[in-house]
Amino acid sequence: MTTQQEAAERPAAGSRAIPAFVGQVLSGVVLLVLLTLHMIAQHFIVPTGLRYYEDVIAWLRNPVVIAVEVTFLVFVTYHAITGVRAVLFDFGFSERTERRLTAVFWVVGIGTVVYGVALLAAILNAA
């Protein structure tokens, strides 16, 4: 039997929201790994908890770090955008409005990733 709680936390069978829900769960699992790595590498192994400028630049010169951070940015943005989208859809918009909002979220999501990658490039160029 489906409880109220389950009904609230997952889309009904056959719902158009199922792909987004599965994507949210999968990106969440990836984020658990990447966020743990990010927190350990960026904060917990650093004696002061935050790197000063020279240490940040030295850290970012490592291509593996760049790859991990960009992957992290892509997944965290996807997870955040689909999460906010799910929250907004709780308002009960029409199908047409939902499609428009989805398009807006795609633009915001891609814009966020592009901004993040451009920021990384600008930081390294400025150093």
Partner 1 sequence: MASTTVEPRRPSTAPAQRRGVVGWFDPRGRRLGGLAFIVNRLSGLGLVLYLYMHLMILSLLVQGPGAWDTFVDIALSPPVLVFDVVLLVGMLIHGLNGIRVGLVGLGLVASRQKALFIAAMVISAFVAFVGALRIFGGE
Task: Give residues in contact with partner 1 (CB under 8 A).
Answer: 2-10, 21-22, 25, 28-29, 31-32, 35, 39, 44, 48-54, 56, 76-77, 80, 83-84, 87, 90-92, 112, 115-116, 119, 122-123, 126
- In angstroms, the CA 30 to CA 82 distance is 15
Going by C-beta distance under 8 Å and a sequence separation of 6 or more, which residues neighbour residue 35?
Answer: 72, 76
For partner 1, the closer of residues 67 and 123 by Cβ is: 123
- In angstroms, the CA 117 to CA 66 distance is 9
Asked whether the beta carbons of 83 and 105 are under 8 A apart, the reply is no
User: Position 94: which residue type?
Assistant: S
Shortest spacing between CB 118 and partner 1, in angstroms: 10
For partner 1, the closer of residues 90 and 95 by Cβ is: 90
Shortest spacing between CB 30 and partner 1, in angstroms: 12
Shortest spacing between CB 99 and partner 1, in angstroms: 19
Asked whether the beta carbons of 73 and 116 are under 8 A apart, the reply is yes
For partner 1, the closer of residues 13 and 64 by Cβ is: 13
Report the candidate in 99, 115, 113, 114 with the shortest Cα–Cα distance to residue 20. 99
For partner 1, the closer of residues 15 and 67 by Cβ is: 15
3-state secondary structure of 61: coil
Shortest spacing between CB 36 and partner 1, in angstroms: 9
